[in-house]
Amino acid sequence: MRLFARTMSSFTRTVSGPWNFVNGKRCNPLHPDGVMKVTEPATGKLLCEVPKSSKEDVSSAVLEAKKALGGWSQLSPRERGQMLIEAGRIVRNNVEDIARLEVRDTGKPIWEARVDILSCADALEYYGGLAPGIVGQHIQLGGGSFAMVQRQPIGVIGGIGAWNFPMQTCVWKVAPALACGNTFVYKPSQFTPVTAVTLAEVLSSAGVPEGVFNVVQGEGEAGAALCHEPDVSKLSFTGSVPTGIKVMASGAESLKTVTLELGGKSPLIIFPDADMKNAVKAALMANFLTQGEVCSNGTRVFVHKSIAKDFIDKVVTATKKMKIGDPNNDETTVGATIHADHAQKVLDYIKGAKEEGAHVLCGGERVILDGPLADGWYLSPAVLVNCTDDMKVVREEVFGSVMSVLEFESEEEVVQRANNTNFGLAGAVFTKDIQRGHRVANTIEAGTVWINNYNLYPTEVPFGGYKHSGIGRENGWAAIDAFTQTRMVYVEMGDVDCGPLYQD
Ligand code: NDP
């Protein structure tokens, strides 16, 4: 096993294969199952061709992860932590290059990609720092006997990610899992294969040994194969509810534990005493980052009737000022939708909303840009009013830049309406009344509630969903709980007392 054999912080800075990463190096699948043609969202043109990993290739990667488990888990947590901190340093020093790769993969604006990649550095450094603090317990029992509760890794982790935050989703799983001594096989989304392999190269440069982190590329079949692997002990999944249900069902076959980060339809509640400018800024953050392709988005914006007109005027004015353009330009705030089918789905939701009686005050249309960007799917961010709770656009996750504004009159009414959904990922309340802020936050059925802000996820705090939005938590100490299991060792200091069972 190679420890601290640090090379220069070398990783591939262009979009080029091979695309799998197994046993410490980029490689092609040995038994490819066809090729994925990946489109660059910004241009609508071919970005790369990625061979799909077959079931055999997934099994080989899992085998390498299993072989690496003994050595990795036996290192001191401090040694593992040092490598993660080093990986964080490499990411931090190369934010611009990695962010540019993320833009090519996702079509999101470069300023956002920089934030995402910096958050990857944060997570690597945080879990690197936390690693030596992952300790067990000593429990004193009677007669001098005692128990030790040891925190152990779970084994080989299978990770599967969505396409909206490709590297961040991967790091949120891999950093805590590796800190705890697990090894990993990750399958990125077919739409965004690029930066998981970048992460693999960064970890390798930081000294992480061969086989500890592996990447297999493919579509749903490769993900399903990973879920069925008998040597994978835990599945950590980010994606839609229907796929999450399949992942959980296949994990159940061999009693794998699962963490599921799924979709949302979160409420953002604005009371009359809210700071209006901050509420407007938060509504933009809650709806229009990454072309609206954000799981925790506050797409149901409940505004008190008394301030609705003012809020709507201001939010529409601000939305119209957003700059649709080349995601590589610093001034762009609306990039390209991930692919044509998804853009069409978003446009269909807007069409359906109009048919149900909603009014579109701005946006909701395809914008065709000049030159090489002409084939990208750029949608203008939409603000919908005259919405009702029963409309499809208000009930279902659109995953596009579509804000539905709903009016309310009382706190009791808005809380009931906010919770009237099967989702429970996030929510927010805007008010200057500290008691109302806490009272409402305490009643929102969601894993994350912001008071007077939106869509912030510091690494230090847990993130995950209630109800159909997921199971388990990522980030913070919660991820350490998720990637460890405890073993109790009872130490008897006296004689065995078995009552009348034994007679001298
Ligand atoms: P999908 O559920 O379609 O796909 C997610 C991942 O699962 C992809 O890598 C996909 O592969 C893979 N997959 C597909 N079928 C299977 C299967 N049968 N078994 C195992 N894996 C499979 O979601 P999207 O990629 O479209 O992502 C959007 C969704 O993700 C939204 O609902 C969003 O809310 C949610 N999300 C949740 C987040 C959270 O933290 N709560 C964060 C980000 C997104 P492939 O794409 O290659 O077919």
Q: What is the pLDDT of residues 211-259, one digit of tens each?
A: 999 999 999 999 999 999 999 999 999 999 999 999 999 999 999 999 9
Tokens describing residue 483: 């990637």
Q: How confident is the model at residue 440 (pLDDT cuts 50, 70, 90)?
A: very high
464 Cα nearest atom in ligand 1: 41
259-266 mean pLDDT: 98
Verify whether ligand 1 is closer than 6 Å to residue 215 (CB atom): no
CA of 308 to the centre of ligand 1 (A): 35
The pLDDT of 396-422, averaged and rounded, is 98
- Read off the amino acid at residue 494: G
pLDDT at residue number 381:
98
Rounded mean pLDDT of the chain?
Answer: 97
Examine the pLDDT at 459 and tell me if it is beyond 50: yes
Which stretches within 16-153 are classed as H helix? 55-74, 77-93, 95-106, 110-130
Distances (CA, A) of 145 to 149, 150, 151, 373: 14, 16, 20, 71
Q: Which atom of ligand 1 is nearest to the CA of 470?
A: 41
236 CA distance to ligand 1 middle (Å): 11
pLDDT for 163 equals 98
343 touches ligand 1 (CB under 6 Å): no
Ligand 1 nearest atom to the CA of residue 243, by list position: 2
Q: Is the CB of 261 under 6 A from ligand 1?
A: yes
What's the confidence (pLDDT) of residue 200? Answer: 98
Q: If pLDDT is split at 50, 70 and 90, which confidence band does 1 have?
A: very low
Helix (H, G, I), strand (E, B) or coil at 312: helix
> Which two structure tokens, joined as six digits, stand for 80?
């593992």
Please tell me if the CB atom of residue 162 comes closer than 6 angstroms to any atom of ligand 1. Answer: yes
Q: What is the pLDDT of residue 409?
A: 98
Mean pLDDT across the stretch 433-452? 98
Q: Write down the pLDDT at residue 2.
A: 46
pLDDT (0 to 100) of residue 144: 98
Question: Is pLDDT above 80 for 6?
Answer: no
Does residue 8 have a pLDDT over 80?
no
State mean pLDDT over 463-476.
98
Q: Is 227 in the pocket of ligand 1 (CB under 6 A)?
A: yes
| Cα 108 to ligand 1 centroid, rounded to whole Å | 18
Residue 10 has a pLDDT of: 87
Give the model confidence (pLDDT) of 83-101 as tens digits.
999 999 999 999 999 999 9
CA-CA-CA-CA torsion for 497, 498, 502, 504, nearest 10 degrees? 10
C-alpha 413/C-alpha 418 separation (Å) is 9
Higher pLDDT pick, 4 / 63: 63
Q: 264 CA to middle of ligand 1, Å?
A: 13
pTM of the entire predicted model: 0.97
Backbone angles phi, psi at 254, to 5 degrees: -120, 30
**The pLDDT of residue 18:** 98
Residue 279's contacts (CB-CB under 8 Å, 6 or more residues apart) are 270, 311, 430
pLDDT at site 419: 98
Catalytic residues: 261, 295
Cβ of residue 397 lying under 6 Å from some atom of ligand 1: yes
> For residue 261, which atom of ligand 1 is closest to its CA?
41
As a whole number of angstroms, the longest Cα–Cα distance in the chain is: 95
Check if 470 has its Cβ closer than 6 Å to any atom of ligand 1: yes
> Mean per-residue pLDDT for 441-453?
98
Distance 233 CA to ligand 1 centre (A): 20
**Residue 426: both structure tokens together:** 């996030």
